C-alpha cells in the first residue's frame, strides 16, 4: 500500500537490557499496527543509551538484537523504516540547532531528568539535553504523531514548544506532533511488585517476562508472580492490583477481553488462572522467538535491512536539514557563491 498520503509516525527504543512483554504490549505491538496506518520511522536509540555508561561490545550486540526482535515481532521493512539513530548524523545537527532555542530552565524542570539523577544516574550533558535530541528525532521526519508512554509526554510537549518557536522565528517548517498513547494495557506492572512499572532495569529478573524467555522460565515467573488477598479473579486495580495486572497481560497477549476472562475464571482459583496465563504467553511468544532465532543467526541480513532503511531515512532527514539550514542562514555549500 502506498505511503504517499499517510501521516508520519516516529518513535524509538533504547538498546539497553532485555525487551519484555511490557515493551511489547506498550510499544512494539502498537508499532506493528501503526505501520499499516502511518508512514512509520522506528529507530534504535543508541545515542540516548550512552547517556549512561555502556559496555561498547554489549551495546553493539544489543542494538542488533533489538533490531532482530523488532523484525521478529512483525515490523516489515517494506512497510516501515527501521534504522539505528547513530547512523543519522542529521539528528545531532538538528538537536544542536533546536538547543539554541531551548532555555536551560526548561530542561532543568524535566521530571525524568530529575528522577534519573535522584536514582544515581550520571548528571551529564547528554542526559540533561536528552529531550532536545528526542525532539530532533521526531521533527526531522516532520512527524504528525509520536507513540510514547506516559513518562515521555513532557518531552513530546517540549518538541511541540520548539516547533512553535522555530516556525515563529524562521517560517513554517515543522508540524506540531500529537502523542499516541495506548489506552489499554499501556502500563504493564511488575510481576513481583504491581505498584511499579515492569522494567528491564528492575533489581530482580522475576519482575518481568522477557520476549525471549524460555517456556520453562515463563512458567516459573508466572507461578511465583505475586497475587492479592482473597480468591476472586476480578479486575479492580485499587483492591486487586496484582490480579488486575495479570488480567491485563492475559487480555492483551491473547486478544481476549478482561470481561470474558472474569467470566471464564469466576469459579476457578489463582493456580488454574496462572497456568492458563502461562499457556497464553508461551503460545503468543513462541512464533516471535522462532523468527528471532533465525534472524539472530544471520546478523548480516539484519545489517542489510538496517542499511537499506537508513538510506530511505537519510533522504527525508537530509531534505529537512537542507530546508532548516537555508532558513536559519547556514551556507549549504560553495556553489551558493557561484
Full DSSP string of 210-250: BTT--HHHHHHHHHH----SSS----BTTTBHHHHHHHHHH
Q: What is the CATH number of the domain that holds 82?
A: 3.40.50.620
Q: How many structural domains compose the chain?
A: 2
306 is a domain residue: yes
| 168 is annotated as contributing to ligand binding | no
Q: How far is Cα 31 from Cα 131, in angstroms, rounded to an integer?
A: 21
In the residue annotation, 238 being an active-site residue is answered as: no
- Give the active site residue among 79, 121, 178, 200: 200
Residues 40 and 9 sit within 8 Å (Cβ to Cβ): yes
Please say whether the dihedral angle defined by the alpha carbons of residues 109, 110, 113 and 117, taken in this order, is positive or negative.
positive
**CA Rg value for the chain:** 22
In this predicted structure, the answer to whether residue 72 has a pLDDT above a threshold of 60 is: yes
Mean pLDDT of the region 153-157: 90
Grid cell at residue 86? 547513530
Segment among 172-176, 181-185, 306-310, 316-320 with least mean pLDDT = 181-185
In this predicted structure, the answer to whether residue 142 has a pLDDT above a threshold of 50 is: yes
In this predicted structure, the answer to whether residue 5 has a pLDDT above a threshold of 90 is: no
Helix (H) / strand (E) element for 146: namely strand 145-147
Same domain, yes or no: 61 and 170: yes
Supply the pLDDT for residue 1.
44
Percent of the chain with pLDDT over 90: 76
Segment among 203-207, 214-218, 313-317, 332-336 with least mean pLDDT = 332-336
Residues 180 and 146 sit within 8 Å (Cβ to Cβ): yes
191 is a domain residue: no
Q: Indicate the pTM of the whole model.
A: 0.88
189 is a domain residue: no
Please say whether the dihedral angle defined by the alpha carbons of residues 131, 134, 138 and 141, taken in this order, is positive or negative.
positive
In the residue annotation, 274 being an active-site residue is answered as: no
112 is a domain residue: yes
Segment among 107-116, 133-142, 183-192, 235-244 with least mean pLDDT = 183-192
| 147 is annotated as contributing to ligand binding | no
Residue 61's pLDDT band, with cuts at 50, 70 and 90, is very high
Angle subtended at Cα 284 by Cα 283 and Cα 288, rounded to the nearest 5 degrees: 110
| 333 is annotated as contributing to ligand binding | no
Same domain, yes or no: 321 and 257: no
Same domain, yes or no: 329 and 280: no
| 200 is annotated as contributing to ligand binding | yes
283 is a domain residue: yes
| 53 is annotated as contributing to ligand binding | no
| 151 is annotated as contributing to ligand binding | yes
Same domain, yes or no: 142 and 30: yes
In the residue annotation, 264 being an active-site residue is answered as: no
In this predicted structure, the answer to whether residue 335 has a pLDDT above a threshold of 60 is: no
Give the structural domain span for 323.
8-180+298-337
Supply the pLDDT for residue 193.
93
Q: What mean pLDDT is reported for the chain?
A: 91
Same domain, yes or no: 13 and 113: yes
Same domain, yes or no: 125 and 28: yes
Supply the pLDDT for residue 119.
82
Amino acid at each position: 500500500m502506498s505511503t504517499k498520503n499517510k501521516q508520519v509516525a516516529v518513535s524509538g527504543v533504547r538498546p539497553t537490557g532485555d525487551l519484555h512483554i511490557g515493551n511489547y504490549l506498550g510499544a512494539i505491538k502498537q508499532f506493528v499496527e501503526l505501520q499499516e496506518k502511518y508512514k512509520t520511522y522506528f529507530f534504535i536509540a543508541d545515542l540516548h543509551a550512552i547517556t549512561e555508561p555502556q559496555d561498547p561490545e554489549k551495546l553493539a550486540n544489543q542494538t542488533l538484537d533489538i533490531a532482530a526482535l523488532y523484525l521478529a515481532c512483525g515490523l516489515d521493512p517494506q512497510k516501515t523504516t527501521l534504522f539505528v539513530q547513530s547512523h543519522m548524523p542529521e539528528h545531532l545537527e538538528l538537536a544542536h540547532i533546536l538547543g539554541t532555542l531551548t532555555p536551560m530552565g526548561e530542561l532543568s524542570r524535566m521530571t525524568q531528568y530529575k528522577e534519573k539523577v535522584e536514582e544515581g544516574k550520571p548528571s551529564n550533558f547528554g542526559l540533561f539535553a536528552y529531550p532536545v535530541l528526542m525532539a530532533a528525532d521526531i521533527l526531522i521526519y516532520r512527524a504528525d504523531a509520536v507513540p510514547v508512554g506516559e513518562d515521555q509526554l513532557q518531552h513530546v510537549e517540549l518538541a511541540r514548544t520548539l516547533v512553535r518557536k522555530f516556525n515563529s522565528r524562521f517560517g513554517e517548517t515543522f508540524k506540531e506532533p500529537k502523542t499516541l498513547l495506548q489506552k489499554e494495557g499501556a502500563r504493564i506492572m511488575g510481576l513481583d511488585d504491581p505498584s511499579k512499572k515492569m522494567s528491564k532495569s528492575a533489581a530482580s529478573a522475576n519482575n518481568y517476562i522477557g520476549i525471549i524467555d524460555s517456556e520453562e522460565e515463563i512458567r516459573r515467573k508466572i507461578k511465583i508472580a505475586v497475587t492479592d488477598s482473597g480468591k476472586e479473579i476480578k479486575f479492580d486495580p485499587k483492591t486487586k492490583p496484582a490480579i488486575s495486572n495479570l488480567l491485563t497481560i492475559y487480555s492483551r497477549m491473547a486478544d481476549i477481553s478482561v470481561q470474558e476472562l472474569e467470566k471464564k475464571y469466576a469459579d476457578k482459583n489463582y493456580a488454574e488462572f496462572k497456568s492458563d496465563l502461562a499457556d497464553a504467553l508461551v503460545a503468543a511468544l513462541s512464533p516471535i522467538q522462532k523468527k528471532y532465532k533465525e534472524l539472530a543467526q544471520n546478523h548480516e541480513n539484519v545489517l542489510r535491512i538496517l542499511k537499506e532503511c537508513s538510506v530511505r531515512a537519510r533522504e527525508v532527514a537530509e531534505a529537512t536539514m537542507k530546508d532548516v539550514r537555508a532558513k536559519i542562514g547556514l551556507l549549504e555549500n560553495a556553489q551558493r557563491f557561484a
